[in-house]
Structure 1
Amino acid sequence: MPAGRPTTYDPRYCEEVVDFMSQGFSLTAFAGHIRCARSTINEWMAVHEEFSEAVKIGQATRTAKLEKTLIDGETGPKVTAHIFALKNAAPEEWKDKVQQELTGDGGGPINHSLQVTFVKPGG
């Protein structure tokens, strides 16, 4: 066993991280809640497969909480805050779609031409 500081990891954190994040809190907030650094959480995820899986479940339950809050009809600044949180919590589903407009020189239309050449078969 390598020498060094002993880990403070506790298998009970698996259930705790899911419960905590299901309230809408981030993984960094969980680190603060249990009084450890976010980098420590990342190390635990790399070493303890069960904890890594629990974090993934926690992230999904956090997204569910944030979405439910929006669906339940909150209004005002909290809506914007929840949308912002969702864009970061689940970017694959809550990203802004970028539209790109193509223009020609000076913002004008794109000039194009098409040349078609017909070739006789066999000749």
Structure 2
Amino acid sequence: MTDAPKPGRPTEYRQEYGAEILQLMASGLSLAASAAELGFHRQRVYEWMDRHPEFADTVKLAQAKRQLFLERRLLSADAGPVVTSTIFALKNAGPEDWRDKVQAELTGPNGGPVQIAAVERIIVRPKDTDSNG
């Protein structure tokens, strides 16, 4: 008697996973949720991306499609929780486009470190003068 297939993650990569993840993420699901829907975890997706360049390209497109879905949802939303939750999702899904924090980096000449020089401060106080002479 043969063993029945065990539930859980598939053991081997299949090319159609790319199209399936693309469809799921284009509907708004995250990468982790899309992978779970297909029966595996996000780390498995990352492993397959490392081994299969065409799959990596498809996942990157899927991430862009998810951002597109979220932006369209935001543009069509009236107000309230949908707007707030969509903005929150966009900040995580597309941090390059949707971040609040602006990061500035300072460098010295030719991109080197910023030079800091110590400055000695000397305080000169007037001498007390004796009013009696």
Relative to the length of structure 2, the TM-score reads 0.66
Of the structure 1 ranges 75-84 and 87-96, higher mean CA displacement relative to structure 2 is found in 75-84
Q: 1:77 aligns with which of 78, 81, 90?
A: 81
Q: 1:42 aligns with which of 19, 39, 46?
A: 46
Instruction: Decide whether aligned partners of structure 1 residues 53 and 98 sit closer, same or farther in structure 2, where only a CA change above 3 A counts.
Output: closer
Q: Which amino acid aligns with 1:54?
A: T
- Deviation above 3 Å: which 4+ runs of structure 1? none
Q: Which amino acid aligns with 1:62?
A: R
- How many residues in Structure 1 have an aligned counterpart in Structure 2? 95
CA RMSD of aligned residues (A): 1.9
* Gap runs ≥5 in structure 2: 1-9, 104-133
Residue correspondence of structure 1 range 1-123 to structure 2 within 5 A: 7-98=11-102
Supply the distance in 2 between the matched residues of 1:47 and 1:92 (Cα, whole angstroms): 26
Supply the distance in 2 between the matched residues of 1:42 and 1:32 (Cα, whole angstroms): 13
Supply the distance in 1 between the matched residues of 2:29 and 2:70 (Cα, whole angstroms): 9
Q: 1:19-70: per-residue Cα shift (whole Å, max 9, x none)?
A: 1100011100111101112111110010011110000000010000000011
Q: How far did 1:98 drift?
A: 4.8
Relative to the length of structure 1, the TM-score reads 0.71
* Higher Cα radius of gyration: 2
Supply the distance in 2 between the matched residues of 1:70 and 1:98 (Cα, whole angstroms): 22
% identity of equivalent residues: 47
Q: How far did 1:74 drift?
A: 3.4
